[in-house]
Chain A
Amino acid sequence: MTTAPGADELQLLLPVPDEDGAPFWEYAARGELRVQACTSCGRLRFPPRPCCPHCGSFESEWRLMSGRGRIWSYVLPHPPLLPAYAAQAPYNVILVELSDAPHIRLAGNLVASADAPLDSVDPSRLRIGAQVQVVFTETGGMTVPRWIPGKS
């Protein structure tokens, strides 16, 4: 017996920010890609957390990134998957190494345009090292970063 997925099951999962991560999503809603940085020693860190693993400072700021990066790795998930994702599979998940901060790597999706489906880029175009550019899309009241092919 199969049951048709309910409306909420057809929605992609939304980020559930924790206290440390909330600023990232607030800046994303303004169309800004920002990464937590220690105001004492200046080192960037991701994922966000209360204190700097290098100097122990609890003071931090959120530094604006250029939004350019390169694909560090990627996967193409196939079912079994949650219904909303199965509907678009196989799609891509990429890991983007930020040009401004090579050890900050963000998971995301390479899409043809900000609001395009997760499978809107032909998988044969995915390549480690390819340049990508951040875009933002609103879904279910949250703004999430996505990536479009960048100029090479």
Chain B
Amino acid sequence: MAATLKDATAIVGIGQTPFAKRLPASEKELACRAILAALADAGIAPGEVDAFASYTMEETDEVEVAKAIGAGDVTFFSKVGYGGGGSCATVGHLAAAIATGQATVGVAWRSRKRGSGPRPWKNTAVQLPTPGQWTRPFGLLRPADEIGMLARRYMHEYGATRDHLFNVAMACRNRANENPAAMMYERPLTREMYMTSRMISDPLCLFDNCLETDGALACVVVSAERARDCRHKPVYVHSAAQGLPSQHHGMVNYWNDDPLSGPAWTAARHLWKQADFGPADVDVAQIYDAFTPLIPLSLEGYGFCGRGEGAAFTEGGALEIGGRLPINTGGGGLSEAYVHGFNLINEGVKQLRGTSTAQVPDAATCLVTAGEGVPTSAILLRA
């Protein structure tokens, strides 16, 4: 019998800074604040930390973090590529390291000043050779343009409409309206606002795009055994997976034989194979939402419905509290904060602790996903 990650580790601490369009603190300071908050939440001293995981796009590296927070000797560190695709893999890497005895207390984090910092797509020079030479000169400049291309095709093939995308934006906004920490707290969205808002990359309008945010988040992972002595109810890492499909091309997956079958499908196969339960048993989901069309595509990829059925799935309040699959209960990237999806991980933990601002009654299982449209990752959490 091969070793398994199943419930061998748990998330025992979560922390975050405020989210805002502009925060005065540096990314390094925000990272340290989030990490120390997560360790305090767990009741674990910084000197016990011996593992770190973050994203390759994280600009505060583990050397800086370790010395700033006063970590002990660090025996495992890892960085995951592809921007938002790395979020859940940070937890997966820590879980694997701890389950195999390479470390005992792991911290994953993401700190980002995207609200007040430069837009990464403006730095075209480094992107121009590959694959930018095939797209950028023609004015396909931003992530919204790249995903808008897939969204238009998806709408054409499966009869998805802007109303379906609105359902996604609305579910996230409704949850943010209940979450005082969210950027869009007390800022309701209406269908009229959505339908009359300015286009960013037609067919995607302003409200189909995530929020530019300054902020940081972190979580603490330890063994299941250690978790029993921590301050809060453990939230077990039940299954973890990454996904880079055959002949995948990143955000511009146009050259794949099947461009609408993205990395979610690959991650999902491994995720469910390792799990004791399936999509029908998921109580609540935190699905990466840099753009609204990623939700129907992910619903299909992770098996909540069939191919082409993701848009129709959003109808009838399915994504709202009390619906078939409540999603992004903190507000998600669309309405809580866009910190490369790390807020989705912490919100999953809150749901399984029973402390979310939009609590799904008796939630015991939660799917958290990373960026669809790039090599991705996902975790299944259980109480």
Task: Name A's B-contacting residues (CB within 8 A).
Answer: 12-18, 20-21, 25, 46-47, 53, 72-78, 80-82, 85, 88, 90-91, 93, 95, 103-109, 118, 123, 128, 142, 144
Contacts and interface: CB of A to CB of B under 8 A. Distances in A.
B255 A103 contact: yes
Contact of A13 (B124, B130, B255): B124
Size category of the binding interface on chain B: 35 or more
Given A73-B149, A105-B254, A107-B135, A16 B129 contact: yes
B202 A78 contact: yes
A103 B199 contact: no
A17 B204 CA distance: 30
B138 A75 contact: no
Closest 5 CB pairs of A and B: A16-B128, A76-B202, A73-B153, A75-B148, A18-B129
Nearest to B203: A75
Contacts of B135: 93, 107
Given A93-B149, A103-B255, A106-B134, 20 more contacts: A12-B137, A13-B136, A15-B133, A15-B134, A21-B134, A47-B134, A73-B152, A75-B149, A75-B152, A75-B203, A76-B199, A77-B144, A77-B200, A78-B198, A78-B200, A82-B122, A105-B254, A128-B152, A128-B153, A142-B137
- The A contact surface, by secondary structure, is loop
B142 interface: yes
B140 A107 contact: yes
B255 to A, nearest CB: 5
Given A73-B149, A73-B153, A118 B139 contact: yes
Contact of B255 (A46, A73, A74, A142): A46
A118 B201 CA distance: 15
A41 to B, nearest CB: 15
A23 to B, nearest CB: 12
Chain B, interface SS category: mixed
Contacts of B149: 73-75, 93, 95
Contacts of A109: 138-139
B128 A73 contact: no
Nearest to B121: A82
B201 A18 contact: no
Given A16-B128, A72-B153, A78-B202, A85 B255 contact: no
Contacts of A91: 139
B67 interface: no
A78 B255 contact: no
